[in-house]
Structure 1
Amino acid sequence: MTTLTMMSDVQVTERAERVVRIARKWQAAEDVLALELVDPAGGPLPEWEPGAHIDLVMPDGAARQYSLCGDPDDRHTWRVGVLLEKEGRGGSRWVHEGLAEGDLVPTRGPRNHFALEPARRYLFIGGGIGITPILPMVRAALGMGADLTVVYGGRTRESMGFVDELIELHAGVEVVPQSEAGLIDLERLLADPQPDTLIYCCGPGPLLDAVEQRVARWPAGALRIERFSARTDTELTSDADQAFEVELSRSGTVLQVPADQTLLSVLEDAGADVISSCAEGTCGSCETMVLAGDIDHRDSVLSESERAAGDRLMICVSRCRGPKLVLDL
């Protein structure tokens, strides 16, 4: 749901802005900064679970999403790791060059579309900055007494943040710097489906695509992934986009969504109470409940089972396959 009316406390927390102070900023690896965030008044921060991320809101109002990678039991500190993306949209450069210890920063969240589910065994695969959501998952899995295999790959050893912390958590972690050992051996890791095992993977798109291809023989639902950028197989050209209607159920308002406009932009133009962040279907902030209609899912957030349920969509990228959608707005 995307309005404050009838929202749960969790949904209000996800949506509301909260100002935090940068208590500490340090170099975690080459091109990777770590930030520790605290409440300016010294109070507790909202609870979170492994896999959650927060939005850092930039001065121009744009937001960037970063996975929480500290200890969920520490209610007074959030920690994020930020990779400098030199060809990115400017958010990481703002963090690296524009923020200093003591600065106040608006945030939103935490929000979690990558939650750790109970299992007897886990296989965790982190690539580059994708290790950040994996870190608290490893801590939680160990606390549950589960069996786990942890593999962490990166470009070079110097570019891989939090290695020492990960090894301290789990001495059996397999560290795979590409400059020394090549790519992660996915054939070995995923060749034989393992019962009662969940795979959690986060990292660059090519790694996630390769993992998805190799788990085809595994039981349905064994894989959980989180993407930092939109998946290419959901990017459709404007020629495939069709116009449709959207009805806002709470007011009865019916709006036209042209083929060359996103559902989000139409709702924003109409003054609907919606929120968005990434605008590419990766963060989940614009998730909206659907009451009727055939959804054309184009996000990189929802699982196959969530898509099949047909009760929610990401309004920044997804559309309608038929003539009309009815939204809980």
Structure 2
Amino acid sequence: MTHTSPSLIVEVIARYDEALDIVVFELADPHGRELPAFSAGAHIDVRVKDGVIRQYSLCNHSDERDRYLIGVLRDPASRGGSSAMHDEIQIGDLVQISAPKNHFPLKPAQRIVLLAGGIGITPLLCMAERLAHTDGAFELHYCTRSRERTAFYQRLVEADFAAQVHFHFDDGEPSQHLNLDTLLGQPDADTRVYVCGPKGFIDAVMTTCKANGWPNDQVHTEYFSGAEIDSSQDGSFEVRIASSGESFTVPADKTVHQVLSENGIEVMVSCEQGVCGTCLTRVLEGEPDHRDLYLEDHEHAANDQFTPCCSRSKSKVLVLDL
């Protein structure tokens, strides 16, 4: 069974349409108590319904303790998370969430470039407000398909840092489309780049940065969905549990997590797409076939941990530290 460890009960005290297909939920403690503190870039796990846990970035000011704001895009390919949030979660409902977690924290730099694609604005909005609050030098580039799909537009144009915000609409004039080569053409040792949005948008930024020689440790990403994987050549392999010696076959049409769960071995999972890192498991022997977007390249190369929700094995056997 898919599960995680949400530890807080919050009430939906407001919900409203923020843009086409995007709803904002305002969450607060039902008894008026302060919520756990969070930092810019943080997210919470939301138990949308039984067996469905999703991650949503917090997009209110990180100094606020009386509420959490999350923005949820209705995904046409929803696996049950975003559609349930839009259709079933209403004002007055109690929702189970985790304490905030941050895999996408702001790090010190003389200059920050924030690049948002669509709903990827949510963690970057919080970062922009934090940087403005601390007088950090930054610019925010926000790319969307159209003005009507641009969440938080009014909040951004009315912000005291509005001059540092640049909107790029796909249906706008070509002159205002984002030119990544112009923006990221020259690496700068004093600049960090933060990018969040659909995989195609992030890939375009990462490809540009790599081509222009940006060091990996100056470019920070957060994915909202997993990589598209060609599974047509997948075969079966064995996973062995180090503590017991038990061995299980993982067929081509099942994940490691599914097979372990069927055999009574629970690994905590959440996103099931390799983007959140919840299920990260140590590998003692064998070579994983990494399919996540959570671990960095050097962590993949070490082959000492993997994400059983989506990753597989290149070797015939994987020995897991379970």
TM-score range, shorter chain: 0.7 to 0.9
Structure 1 residues 46 and 272: alpha-carbon distance in aligned structure 2, compared to 1, 3 A threshold: farther
Given candidates 223, 230, 233, the residue that maps to 2:226 is: 230
What is the DSSP-based 3-state SS (H/G/I as helix, E as strand, rest coil) of the residue aligned with 1:325? strand
Moved more, 319-328 or 128-137: 319-328
Judge conservation of contact 1:84–1:93 (CA < 8 Å) in 2. Answer: yes
Given candidates 240, 249, 267, the residue that maps to 1:246 is: 240
Moved more, 29-38 or 59-68: 59-68
**After superposition, where does 1:121-136 map in structure 2 within 5 Å?**
121-136=111-126
Given candidates 9, 15, 29, the residue that maps to 1:25 is: 15
Judge conservation of contact 1:283–1:301 (CA < 8 Å) in 2. Answer: yes
Q: Deviations over 1:286-328 (max 9, x none)?
A: 2223344422210012222332343432110112332433433
Q: Residue 109 of structure 1: CA displacement?
A: 4.4
RMSD over equivalenced CA pairs, Å: 2.4
Given candidates 292, 301, 316, the residue that maps to 2:309 is: 316
1:191 corresponds to 2:169 = no
Question: What does residue 203 of structure 1 align with?
Answer: 197
Judge conservation of contact 1:25–1:33 (CA < 8 Å) in 2. Answer: yes
1:287 corresponds to 2:269 = no
What is the DSSP-based 3-state SS (H/G/I as helix, E as strand, rest coil) of the residue aligned with 1:26? strand
Judge conservation of contact 1:113–1:302 (CA < 8 Å) in 2. Answer: no
Distance 1:99 1:179 in 2: 32
Total equivalences in the alignment? 315
What is the TM-score normalised by the length of structure 1? 0.86
Given candidates 296, 300, 306, the residue that maps to 2:299 is: 306
Question: What does residue 262 of structure 2 align with?
Answer: 269
Q: Residue 155 of structure 1: CA displacement?
A: 1.3
Distance 1:51 1:293 in 2: 34
Distance 1:15 1:237 in 2: 30
Q: Residue 108 of structure 1: CA displacement?
A: 3.1
Judge conservation of contact 1:246–1:257 (CA < 8 Å) in 2. Answer: no
Output the amino acid matched with 1:115.
P
Q: Deviations over 1:226-251 (max 9, x none)?
A: 2222223xx132424440223244x5
Judge conservation of contact 2:193–2:219 (CA < 8 Å) in 1. Answer: yes
Distance 1:303 1:170 in 2: 32
Judge conservation of contact 2:14–2:25 (CA < 8 Å) in 1. Answer: yes
Identity %: 38
Distance 2:318 2:237 in 1: 11
Distance 1:87 1:242 in 2: 27
Moved more, 78-87 or 43-52: 43-52
Distance 1:124 1:327 in 2: 38
Output the amino acid matched with 2:278.
S
Output the amino acid matched with 1:170.
F
Given candidates 92, 95, 117, the residue that maps to 2:82 is: 92
Q: Runs of 5+ in structure 1 lacking a partner?
A: 4-13
Q: Residue 106 of structure 1: CA displacement?
A: 1.8
Q: Runs of 5+ in structure 2 lacking a partner?
A: none
Structure 1 residues 305 and 140: alpha-carbon distance in aligned structure 2, compared to 1, 3 A threshold: farther
Judge conservation of contact 1:52–1:114 (CA < 8 Å) in 2. Answer: yes
Distance 1:110 1:305 in 2: 26
1:178 corresponds to 2:170 = yes
Moved more, 93-102 or 306-315: 306-315
Q: Deviations over 1:65-109 (max 9, x none)?
A: 211111222223111001122342342222222222111112234
Distance 1:271 1:111 in 2: 28
1:157 corresponds to 2:150 = no
Question: What does residue 6 of structure 1 align with?
Answer: none
Distance 2:301 2:34 in 1: 38
Question: What does residue 5 of structure 2 align with?
Answer: 15
Judge conservation of contact 1:67–1:133 (CA < 8 Å) in 2. Answer: yes
Distance 2:70 2:240 in 1: 37
Question: What does residue 117 of structure 1 align with?
Answer: 107
